Amino acid sequence: MHKERRHYTIRARVTEFLLPPIEDGLVLGRHSPIGHVAVSRALGLLSVTPFEHVQVDDDVIGDILVRSAILRKVTAPQLRYFVLSSIKPFMGPEEIIQLNIDVEISLEKEV
């Protein structure tokens, strides 16, 4: 007679679900599985933080969704240039990349 023994272990990593689930922005590849309209609608339901759409005419990157507060610090063309020159080399047209953006502004005024 053989005794059968079973042992089960369940492990879980638990973290807080933050709203919105996107910190500062998303870069949507041209062929990403979801478009900027659907992501914008989802963000509108999940968060009170306003996000803005920055259109990109590129073979890899289709759109950028970014917190409105970021666009008060940098212009849409500046952000577009940064994404195309710095992020595009690391992504494919089917990907969605999350952005955590730190903008530092140095001001000096002689009075």
Cα 77 to Cα 57: distance, rounded to the nearest angstrom: 12
Cα 61 to Cα 69: distance, rounded to the nearest angstrom: 22
Give pLDDT, residue 46. 84
Q: Write the pLDDT tens digit of every residue in 20-45.
A: 678 899 999 999 999 999 999 998 88
Give pLDDT, residue 19. 66
pLDDT tens track, the chain, 111 positions: 778 888 888 888 877 667 667 889 999 999 999 999 999 999 888 888 899 999 999 999 999 999 999 999 999 999 999 999 999 999 999 999 999 999 988 889 898
Give pLDDT, residue 7. 86
Residue 56's alpha-carbon distances to 2, 20, 75, 84, 107, in angstroms, are: 66, 23, 14, 9, 30
